[in-house]
Each structure stands twice: as C-alpha cells, then as structure tokens.
Structure 1
C-alpha cells in the first residue's frame, strides 16, 4: 500500500511539474505581448515565433555530406545559443525534389523526449538531442535535410533553420568489357573493330578508361562531334544496355594515339583510336549507366593476343575497378572457297515455301578482315527486283522457280572468293495440296450421297407405316 501511494505521488508530481513549466512559458509570452502593446498603441502585434537575429542563436550549415551506400551516417545540428537562452526543441525535416517537406524527428528539450515520425524510414532514428542517425544509407536518402532549432530568450521564442545536403554515392556495379559489332558498319567511323565497356549502375556516372596491355590509352583530343553525335542520336538506344533512360544522354567523342613497337623488328607504329562515351540516367532513379566504345583499325601483327582492359573510376572507390578482354585473332588473309559454305534451310525446300540461304558462320568468322558478302542469281534479279543482295542471310519467300543458281561472293581488302549452289525444290507440298483437294471433293460427294440415302430411307419408312395403317383398317 505504501509503494502504491509513493508511485501515485510521483506521477502527480511529474504532471504538476509539466503543468507548471508550460504555464510559466505562457505567462512569459503573455507578458512579452503586453509590454509590446504598452510601448505603442499603434504598433503592430509582435509575432510569437520570430527568426533569430544577431548572436542570440547561430546555426552552422554543412553544405554537403558525402557517404557511400550502405554506410551509417550521422547528421548533426550544430548551433550556439546566447547566454541565458533555453533550448525549446529541435526538429528534423527531409526536403524532397518536389518542394515538399516531411518531418522526420522531433526532440522536445523541455521534456527531454525524442519522437520519430511514422513517415520516416525504418533506418532513421535519433541519437542524442542534436543528431539524426541513418543506419544504412541508400540512394533514396539522397537530398536536403533541414534542422529547425527553437529557443526561449528574453521572454520570446526564436527559431532558425540549418541545411545539410546528403550525397549518397553508389560504387560502380560489375565492369564488363566485350567485343561489340553494332558500330563496325557505321560509316561515321572509319574503323573496323570496337570494344564496349559497361557499368550498368552507379551514382554518379562512372568514368571509363581503356587500357592496352596494362598501359592506359590517353584520350588527347576532344572531337568536334556535333555532326557525328547528331547522326548517331537515333541509335543511342542500341548502344545502351538500359532501355528505360532519360532523354538527356551525355555523349562525347575523343581520339587518342598509342605507340606500338614490334619486338622483332623494333619498328614503331602509331595506332589511332576513337572513343565514344555515353552516360545516361536511368528513368525514375538517381542511378546512371556508363557505356564507352573503343574503335580502331585492327592490326593482327600487333593486336593478336593483346589484353585490352577497362578501368571504372569513381569517387566512391579508392582503387578503380578493372575488366580485361584478350583478343585472339586469326591471321589476316583473303576469303577462300573452302571458308564459303552455303547452308539451305529447310534442307529439302518445296515449291511455294520460304527458304533461307546463308554461309556457315563458324567458317565465316575465320576470315579476317571481315568480308562483304554479295548474293546474285542466274535470273538477273533478287527479291524486290534488286540485282543483288548484301549480307549473310538471304531470305526467299514463296519460292516458285526450280533449279535456280545462287552465287555468293566474299570481298575484303586482301582478296575475293565465291561459291554457288543450285536451289532444288520438291513438289511434295503441291502434291499434298492436290491430294487434299481431291480427297476433299470425294468426301463431299460421299457426304452428299449419304444425305440423299437418308432422305430415301425416311420416305420408305413413312410409306411402310402408311401401308400398315391401311391394312389394319381393312381388317377392322
């Protein structure tokens, strides 16, 4: 019983103290307003909450706080109060891109209570009276934060706001480098080979640098690329891995040289490179994709077994990420008839079917430099009434002419070769269609005869029943 009375006494005393503090603050504000009215009958009313001026309350702004993704961070509200001031509260807000503010945390200095808003993320909490703690940062935490400080001084309430920008860095994802063929045939670049290096996600965009045998390829000149980039604007989607990107793609073209020395002859050569850099922000996020293309004319005597690499440099990394690609090439040479083998699909085409003619890709890839393929036939014209077709895969639709001779010629800088085939068509398809037609007509005739037979049987049945009725009547 005594413990219960003591507990109730403590609760009543706590409630009384809270009431007394708030009542004293109310009297202080009331007296301030009364003094202002006494000073001048025509003076406007003084705002109860005013912004601080002078040295009564000073708050320090931290313009930018940089942290890597998944690391903890503490946002500290740094301020100084004049002598005799009493801290009232500290409130943290998150400012979003659309201009809205969301209250995250409130520290009530009078009651010494910290309260986290339900709208705040789960990894946000208070640590001490002046600190906002984020346990594991993510790109969604990136942005402006506001620290509102309120004090009591000279019988009035003063407030001031400090700002902190949290910049969350996301290191580059896996670096990939590979041979890419989409630019090889682009007439805007006078090269016959390209490598692509990609970083799918990072914040901000990663800077990519190519290397050859461990030596960085210096990008010396920035190409006046207005015309080139204008001609390639429609193909950005093909050059980027991420298709859902913002329309503002950052593109630049540079050039550089690399001096190569033949180990046997000690002869020095200059390899000229062109580098295309693309940086695109992924829609709906703050993440970026970086894709860079290294274009040059291959020199088999220098490039065979060379190691081309890609460095992904980023401010979140102490050391750049790296990826390698070894070029294993065949010796340069002209096309040969042995490397040109025509494949027909399907194996036994029929009249009226679609047919594909193409060269064996496994044999074709052994030819270097890459050849141009030209198709012709003995008719003198190809599909769409063209005299020839350029490419590896020739599609023939609804083929009707049998024993047509198709010829393909392969050209590169070192020579030419050709081969031919006779397209033999079977009439199995036509025979099947004809047989199906005859079978259908016979079946229809039989069905028609069966229909008449049923009608005759029905008439006979009715006639027999009529005779039975007549006979029965005669008997009666």
Structure 2
C-alpha cells in the first residue's frame, strides 16, 4: 500500500511539473513605500518574475472603497519588439521585469490602494494569457493647514468675588494623520490632568472653595507658577462653562483714527481691573486637558484640544499661552500664541461731531490705550452701555456691543452722561462720556399768539385786534 501511495504521489508531482512547464509561472510584487508628504514626487515600482513571454502590464488606482478601479498606465508587449523570446523551449529561463509609475506632486486624493496587473502568454496556446497582480497602499501625509487659539464661552463678565473656570481651545485643521497637540505657558510645558466628564471634574474640585484662602496681603501676588511637562488625555466631553453668560449681541467695528469729538466731554476713567479680588489661590492651578478629533471631507483631520483651569486675574494677566503641534510632515513644531490681558483705557468717539436735536448719535469704542498692541485684548471683552442716573433712550437699562446708537436725540438729553463698561474674565474698566446736544436750526418753532382778555372775561374779537394793530403802527 505504501508503494502504491508513493507511485501516486510521484505521478502527481510529475503532472504538476509538466503543467507548470507548459503554462509557465508568474510572480508579481510591488516594492513597499513609507508614508509620503503631500507635494512629493512618488515612484511606484512593480517587480515580476516569469519564464514566459510578457503580454501586458496595467496599473490601476482603486477608488470608492475598492468598488471602482481607474486605469492609470498600460503597457502592451504586442506592439513592442524589445520583449524577450525563449531560445530553448525546453530550458526554463527566469526573466525579471520592472514597471514603474511616477506620480508627481501627490495630493490627498492620490491616497489609497494601487494595483499592478501583469499578463504572460500561455505556453500551451498563444491565445490564452496567464494573469497575476500585486497591490500597495499609498499613504499620503498632510501637514496641518491652520492652527488657532480661542477662548471658550466668551465674552464673559468679570467676577472679583470668586474664581471662574476658564478654557482655552486650540483648533488644528488639515493634518493627516492627526497631530499631537500640547500647551505651554510662558514657553514651558504645562502639566495637565485628563478628565472624562464635567461631573467628574466637579467631584474632584476644579480648585474649589477648599483650595482658596482670603487675600491677606498683596505680597501673595508674587506667587510663582510651577511648570512641568504636558501629556495628552483620553477623548472625552469638554466642560461646559459660564452657562449664564450674556448673548453675543455686540457689533464689531474697525478702529479708526478719529480724534474725540467736540461734543464728548473727557471724564477720567474709573479702572476696576486693578482692584484685587477677594480671593486668592493657595497653590498652583490644576490644568485639565481634553482633546477630540474628527475627519473632514478631504480625508484630513481636525483636532480640538482644550485647557481648563481656575483663572486668577492677578497671576494670569499678561501670561503668554501657546498651543503647539507636532506632526511627522512638519520639520519643526507649529504653534499659535495668545497673551491674556485685561481691558484698560477704552477710547471713545462720537458721530456726528456736532450733535443736534433730532440727529442719530453713535458712540463707539475705537480701541484701548495699552501701547503698541492697543487693540489686542484677549479674551474678547464684553461692552456694556448704561446711562448715569436713568435708563437709555429706548427705555432699557443696558446695551451690549461696541457701538451705542441713540436715535433722534431730543433736547432733554443735553448734558446726559453715558458709561461704557468693558470687561473680560481678567478685569473690568469704566469710561464715561457726556452728550452735548445743540439746537437744530432746521426745526421751526411754533409762533406764540397774543390773547388778551376783555372786561367781560372773553377774548378780544378780530375787529378790536385790528384796531390795536393800527394804533401800534401809527405810534411807530
């Protein structure tokens, strides 16, 4: 039985060898490629080994998740006289071929699988073709296109009586794969703590009341902030802060170089931002970190990283925070910086320069008196307008926005004073201006009629009025 099995096995091997001798063999491989950066020139190399005669080479780019193939290169050996022929039909000869495809300045749409299909002639029949293929996935990396740092839940009011949660949001778009994002303060990495939900943060006490102590002396303001390394936390839901903040009802306006109008009386400002809060943190703040990522329509990623802590206006004012990004497609980190600053010295302007009765007056915040970077207040301030000693012209107690509009001012508003309060979580400041209203010569005054009573108590008749008028003319 063993001898019979050996004979059968030998027969099968001889048949397989004969079949391979008749049909020939073909192996196809594509050289692997590391991830490439968008804009680079890429060369795809397809190597195949055979002892037969080459028929064709076809390159495909696979799209739509593998359901569609786009032909990008074809080589037909039938019309090429340089292909090799076998000198001895019975002698096996290995022929090594290579086909290359050059992709100049690859873009994100070039990312994906590629296939190399090779066909050789069947030894048994020139009408049959033996096919084989190889595949490779081209991984195109894209460096981040933009990075920005914003303040969450702003504008918000200033509170000197208790600490406020403050959140910086770093938004990085256009990167593939997703970049690594971290925060720095004054050029040094920040030690952060991950969180999983807002409830957990509240339970841990995001520097709650037990971590605060009364401000005994101003020497405590020299507390140094400790810095250390930063790490990324798991994905989680960001903390929602300042739920009762005012709505963004302000209107933005470009600062101009107009001088203060003659109708604006300059009143010394009352700076509240330098007042010391009634609390102070007993230790360095705890920074909580969270980041999320989502895929954009072009296949790149958008990453949002948040840094949350209890804000201390005395220590955080003028502090430089930066968000930095590391990515394999970047030769050096990419970063965006913001400097926390309280508003100081708002500059007001009034139009028209000479307000008259019936005019529409606009009082506008032009900027801040803070040196060369006068208009760079971060986070975005909240502008609140009030009238000293009474409601505004429309009956409201306060208005939000950089511009206060007074429609058709009456003469009764002459001498009225208006207060502009500018504040953000780091501080608050007040500036006053007085409205001077002049009479409008275009408005005609109503004539006054002279009505004299007679002896009977009735008004004088028309005839008696004409008589008095004629006597007055004769006397003159």
TM-score by length of 2: 0.52
Per-residue CA deviation, residues 113-160 of structure 1 (Å, 9 max, x unaligned), is 79xxxxxxxxxxxxx742222243232322222211212234232223
Q: Which residue in 1 is equivalent to 2:230?
A: none
* Alignment of 1:270 onto 2:284: yes
Q: Which residue in 1 is equivalent to 2:328?
A: 315
Change (3 A) 1:72 1:381: same
Q: How far off is 1:92 after superposition?
A: 0.5
Q: Which residue in 1 is equivalent to 2:136?
A: 164
* Alignment of 1:69 onto 2:38: yes
Q: Which among 64, 83, 89 is matched to residue 56 of structure 2?
A: 89
Q: Partners in 1 of 2:40 and 2:119 — Cα distance?
A: 30
* Alignment of 1:408 onto 2:419: yes
Change (3 A) 1:302 1:211: same
Q: Which residue in 2 is equivalent to 1:143?
A: 112
Q: Partners in 2 of 1:295 and 1:305 — Cα distance?
A: 17
Change (3 A) 1:299 1:388: closer
Q: Partners in 2 of 1:152 and 1:357 — Cα distance?
A: 87
In the alignment of these two chains, the number of paired residues is 319
Question: 8 Å contact 1:311–1:320 — kept in the other structure?
Answer: no
Q: How far off is 1:348 after superposition?
A: 1.7
Which ranges of structure 2 fall in alignment gaps of 5 or more residues?
1-22, 83-96, 158-162, 200-234, 240-280, 446-476
TM-score by length of 1: 0.52
Q: How far off is 1:389 after superposition?
A: 2.8
Question: 8 Å contact 1:353–1:397 — kept in the other structure?
Answer: yes
Q: Partners in 1 of 2:341 and 2:429 — Cα distance?
A: 21
Farther off after superposition, 321-330 or 361-370:
361-370
Question: 8 Å contact 2:41–2:106 — kept in the other structure?
Answer: yes
Q: Map 1:30-429; keep pairs closer than 5 Å.
A: 56-60=25-29, 66-81=35-50, 84-97=51-64, 99-112=67-80, 129-155=98-124, 156-173=128-145, 180-181=150-151, 183-185=153-155, 191=164, 195=168, 197-199=170-172, 201-224=174-197, 253=237, 269-275=283-289, 277=291, 279=293, 283=297, 285-290=298-303, 292-299=305-312, 302-303=315-316, 306-317=319-330, 320-323=332-335, 325=337, 327=339, 329=341, 339=345, 343-358=349-364, 361-363=367-369, 374-377=384-387, 380-382=390-392, 385-403=395-413, 405-408=416-419, 410=421, 420-428=432-440
Q: Partners in 2 of 1:369 and 1:322 — Cα distance?
A: 22
CA RMSD of aligned residues (A): 4.8
Question: 8 Å contact 1:200–1:289 — kept in the other structure?
Answer: yes
The secondary structure found in structure 2 opposite 1:140 is: helix
Q: How far off is 1:225 after superposition?
A: 6.7
Per-residue CA deviation, residues 332-379 of structure 1 (Å, 9 max, x unaligned), is 9xx9xxx57754332222233322234564149899999866544378
Question: 8 Å contact 2:154–2:380 — kept in the other structure?
Answer: no
Question: 8 Å contact 1:350–1:425 — kept in the other structure?
Answer: yes
Which ranges of structure 1 fall in alignment gaps of 5 or more residues?
1-53, 115-127, 227-250, 256-266, 436-476
Change (3 A) 1:297 1:353: farther
Change (3 A) 1:147 1:395: same
Q: Partners in 2 of 1:71 and 1:372 — Cα distance?
A: 47
Per-residue CA deviation, residues 252-286 of structure 1 (Å, 9 max, x unaligned), is 6568xxxxxxxxxxx98232335565656565x34
Q: Which has the higher contact order (CA 8 A, sep 6+)?
A: 2
Q: How far off is 1:104 after superposition?
A: 1.6
Question: 8 Å contact 1:62–1:165 — kept in the other structure?
Answer: no
Question: 8 Å contact 1:90–1:129 — kept in the other structure?
Answer: no
